[in-house]
Amino acid sequence: MHKARFRQQLKLGPLCLFCILCIFICIKGAATNRATRLDSLKDILSHSPSPDVAIKTLQELSDLYRQKPEEVGYLHRLLDIGNRVDSVQAVYAAAANLSRYYYDDNKSDSVVYWAQYIDSVGKSRKELSDGLFEAYSYVCLDHLWLENYELAMNEAIRLYNLACSRNHTYGQIRCGENLGHIYQAIRRDSDAVVVYQAALDKQEEIGENLTVSIRLVSYQLESLLRINKLDSAGVLLATYKNLLDRQEAVNRNTGAIYPVDRYRWIMHSFYAEYYLKRKDFEKARKSLDCAESFVGKETIGNDFAVFAYLYIQARYNKEVGNYAVAHKYIDQLLESWQTPDCLQLKADILSESGDAASAIQAYKDVISETSKINNEAFTRQINQLRTLYDLNDKEIQKKELEISQMNVNIKEHQLILSMSVSVILLLVLYILYLSFRRTRRLKNALLQEKEALIESEKNLRIAKDKAEEANQAKTTFIANISHEVRTPLNAIVGFASLMSDPSCTQEEKEEFSSIISNNTELLLNLVNDVLCLSQIEAGSLSFSLRPVELGDCCRNAMETIRHRVAEGVSLNFTPEVPSFILNTDPLRLQQLLVNLLVNAAKFTEAGEINLSFHIGQEQKNVDLIVTDTGCGIPADKVTQIFKRFEKVDEYKQGTGLGLSISQAIAGALGGTIRVDAGYTQGARFIFTHPC
């Protein structure tokens, strides 16, 4: 095949030679330009530039020397200048890149050191940076590739909880990517697909980043193909190709050096696996031919692109009966990747080719490698338990030492007390009167102490009652939240299982998918509401008050819920004045308005939903009014509607937490929220905000 291709290339004649010459000139020109750029940047540094220029120059030099020893020196200089002029972003970037450098250089201690360095700087400044999640991601991945899955998972979950608690979107994306890697490593690919998709969804909140999307889609495709979700994989492959085409255009237009060829190599390998699983051997072969065109272009060693290509080549040739070729590819693969999957594939190839003796030995190798991995994992867990035991033992010894010291001190005090009593007995005749007065004072003190104890007991009983009430509230909350979670979760699980039924039509699958999507949104809203409530109760819900245009906040809230309004229902905004500046937190105000508007949309099937605001006398407050023509609120529920999990219609979707959250936000903003009992054409909520 290679000889035929070589003969075809010779037929191109002078045109082929001209193209080769052009490519050579471009490569040589690029190398010359790089050398010229390096000399220019070094010359700038030699003339003691201003800190801003020096920071920019050092950042570019470190990029040009990426993963080379020179990079470390430039990053340290960047760190020094950043600390000297208090350019914290330069400090974060330099430390995160040092963590990445040592991660690629397999120096775990240095990876942890620079991650902790960023953490200490962030805590001293009371801020959470992107660099923190960047650096700790390398710590997490370092644990993962060393097969310390427990440590990797603990680190990933710790970071994810931190990102969620501080609403740090980039941190949630990086942590989601790390969790996906861990799930893939332990073969929980269904969970990996979910967290990768969540990371992609989160990325839309901060604007599309092509390189991050390419990376996440590539990981997600690997898991989808592994669990045979071919329909989803087919759609995602088209998205993958589109992303790579766009990044290639960016490379051409900006001079970026993102490795598009590497990802195209992976993409064609994925396409080959996709068609192979569908038994379309002709298209699988074409995809492999496309992938083969990238062989030799990358000098990246044990890269996943090489693994994916060699693995699918071996599988394809096994499936079509080319056992000799399959054997060649699997042996090449095993030179760098001695994994159970690769060993299993080799054993299958030998078995199907009729080499029973070699197949038996290969299957023994599979069992041996699997046992080795399991034994190492077991040993690792035992060592971790032993470490915990040693720590606990040291803690116990420390406590025992403290107790012994306390006993010695008590005995010393007792000895001193005995000696004092002896002296007092000798002087009793002289201090009888003083002792009498002292006795009376002690009696009074004891009476006061008794009263204090009685008061303390009373306070303890009150605290106990409050604790029991809190415990009852917690029990009720758990029962309610369990019920609310179970409802959409049952729908998701039930219809997901129905979708795998071959007898279902495409229309039914689309209907089931819509139901699953709706219940997934309901479940996500429930989780978000619970997280918001937990922040409110913990007092960690932050508010940032500033002057904002009230009309813009109202319009943003309306646009957010417009897709939820039933067909035929008009959504209107009728402000009293065209413009009004209000000192408030725009995000929390919009969250409150969205909850009220969603509540109105849920119960309004015809008529109108209207949002308006009214300026109070002397502009001391402003009333924001949400009016609908829905079913209204029964009189017996008007006083209960702001309680948690309280719903007007139990059969309507929703968590029953939105109005409770809105009331908490209203209180935090210094306002009040109420139901207009005099309005009978539907429901009307009035939020009074102080000016």
Q: For the domain that residue 45 is a member of, what is the CATH number? A: 1.25.40
| CA–CA separation, 436 and 450 (whole Å) | 21
Q: For the domain that residue 638 is a member of, what is the CATH number? A: 3.30.565.10
* Listed residue (232, 303, 324, 313) closest to 272, CA to CA: 313
Tell me the pLDDT tens digit for each residue of 120-134. 988 998 888 888 998
Cβ atoms within 10 Å of 660's Cβ, excluding its own: 21
Residue 143 contacts residue 151 (beta carbons within 8 Å): yes
Residue 373 contacts residue 340 (beta carbons within 8 Å): yes
Q: Is the pLDDT of residue 28 over 50?
A: no
The identity of residue 391, as a single letter, is: L
| CA–CA separation, 411 and 414 (whole Å) | 5
3-state SS class at 266: helix
- Across the range 217-241, mean pLDDT stands at 92
Tell me the pLDDT tens digit for each residue of 33-60. 557 777 788 888 778 788 888 888 888 8
In a domain, 239, yes or no: no
- Across the range 569-589, mean pLDDT stands at 90
In a domain, 317, yes or no: no
In the chain, the percentage of residues whose pLDDT exceeds 90 is 18
| Residue 17, pLDDT score | 32
- Element of type H or E holding 627: strand 621-628
Q: Is the pLDDT of residue 418 over 70?
A: yes
Cβ atoms within 10 Å of 173's Cβ, excluding its own: 24
In a domain, 472, yes or no: no
* Listed residue (94, 68, 64) closest to 79, CA to CA: 94
Look at strands 621-628 and 683-690 and give their pairing: antiparallel
Lowest mean pLDDT among 6-15, 420-429, 446-455, 468-477: 6-15
Which alpha helices (DSSP H) does 227-355 contain, by range? 230-254, 260-277, 281-292, 304-319, 323-334, 340-352
* Listed residue (480, 594, 581, 588) closest to 536, CA to CA: 588
Tell me the pLDDT tens digit for each residue of 492-523. 888 888 887 788 888 888 888 877 887 787 67
| Residue 11, pLDDT score | 33
Band of residue 655 on the pLDDT scale cut at 50, 70, 90: low
- Element of type H or E holding 571: strand 569-573
Token output for 472:
């009852």
Lowest mean pLDDT among 5-9, 208-212, 602-606, 681-685: 5-9
- Across the range 212-228, mean pLDDT stands at 90
Band of residue 4 on the pLDDT scale cut at 50, 70, 90: very low
The identity of residue 582, as a single letter, is: L
The segment with the largest mean pLDDT, out of 160-169, 251-260, 334-343, 386-395, is 160-169
In a domain, 126, yes or no: yes
Mark which of 113, 128, 146 sits at the end of a domain.
146
- Across the range 287-304, mean pLDDT stands at 72
In the chain, the percentage of residues whose pLDDT exceeds 70 is 87
| CA–CA separation, 673 and 283 (whole Å) | 63
**Prediction pTM value:** 0.49
- Across the range 94-101, mean pLDDT stands at 90
Mark which of 104, 126, 146 sits at the end of a domain.
146
Give 318 or 369, the one with higher predicted confidence: 318
Side by side, which strands form the sheet with 621-628?
Answer: 569-573, 607-615, 621-628, 683-690, 672-675
Give 255 or 690, the one with higher predicted confidence: 690
**CA 546 to each of CA 149, 558, 582, 584, 643: distance values in angstroms, whole numbers, following the listed order:** 46, 21, 8, 5, 30
| Residue 403, pLDDT score | 84
| CA–CA separation, 213 and 220 (whole Å) | 10
Residue found by looking up tokens 């034994």 in the block:
375
| CA–CA separation, 250 and 257 (whole Å) | 9
| Residue 546, pLDDT score | 92
Q: Is the pLDDT of residue 627 over 70?
A: yes
Tell me how long the chain is: 691
| CA–CA separation, 443 and 441 (whole Å) | 5
Domain that holds residue 139: 25-146
Q: Is the pLDDT of residue 473 over 70?
A: no
Question: Domain tally for the chain?
Answer: 2
| Mean pLDDT score across all residues of the chain | 81
Residue 571 contacts residue 622 (beta carbons within 8 Å): no
Look at strands 683-690 and 546-549 and give their pairing: unpaired
| Residue 570, pLDDT score | 93
Lowest mean pLDDT among 119-128, 249-258, 571-580: 249-258
Mark which of 146, 181, 209 sits at the end of a domain.
146
In a domain, 79, yes or no: yes
Tell me the pLDDT tens digit for each residue of 478-492. 766 676 677 777 778
